[in-house]
Amino acid sequence: MINSIKSGFWMGIRTTGMLARVIVPVYLLVAILSRYGGLEQIAHFFEPVMRIFGLPGEAALVLVLGNVVNLYAALGAIVAISLTQGQLTVIALMLGFSHSLFVESAVVKQTGVSIRIILPLRVGMMILVGVVAGQVMGGIA
């Protein structure tokens, strides 16, 4: 039992290290964008689209990072911007269905299942659930 706990502990440390390596640069980038005004422009540009999900425009950055990189990158951006509890739940739901698309699609492909089914399914569910949840819990203050 001690050995299992030890190797689990080190696995946890390794995972935390991996997560820090992704979260720190993303967080810094978003903080810098936010200080020097770039974030505002991004937010303004995506505001009409993100409104569908009851999310502020900055949330577009979170969705892109989550889908292209991974959930840790999305987390780094989420903690750097401010969202209400409802908006956090909406964006977490959306990201739950669709994230790390490059890496995870590669794994799915290895099992012989077509990406042409899996990708539209994931992105479609992200949008569908995002719209529904956004109506219920999102909302721009």
CA 130 to chain centroid, in Å, comes to: 13
Question: Does position 73 bind another protein by CB under 8 A?
Answer: no
Among 73, 78, 81, 134, binds another protein (CB under 8 A): 78
Of 105, 79, 104, 78, nearest to 91 by C-alpha is: 78
CB 134 within 8 A of CB 88: no
To another protein, the closest distance from the beta carbon of 38 in angstroms equals 15
Tally of residues, the chain: 141
Q: Which is nearer to another protein, 40 or 45 (CB)?
A: 40
Instruction: Please give the Cα distance from 101 to 105 (Å, whole number).
Output: 6
Site for another protein in 86-125 (CB under 8 A): 88-89, 91-93, 95-97, 100, 103-104, 107-108, 110-113, 117-118, 121-122, 125
Question: Does position 68 bind another protein by CB under 8 A?
Answer: no
Question: Does position 1 bind another protein by CB under 8 A?
Answer: yes
How far, in Å, are 44, 71, 101, 113 from residue 108 at the CA level?
Answer: 36, 18, 10, 6
CB 56 within 8 A of CB 87: yes
To 5 degrees, how large is the angle CA 123–CA 127–CA 133? 140
Question: Does position 85 bind another protein by CB under 8 A?
Answer: yes
Return residues touching another protein (CB under 8 A): 1, 3-5, 7-9, 11-13, 15-16, 19-20, 23-24, 27-28, 31, 35, 71, 75-76, 78-80, 83, 85, 88-89, 91-93, 95-97, 100, 103-104, 107-108, 110-113, 117-118, 121-122, 125, 129, 133, 137
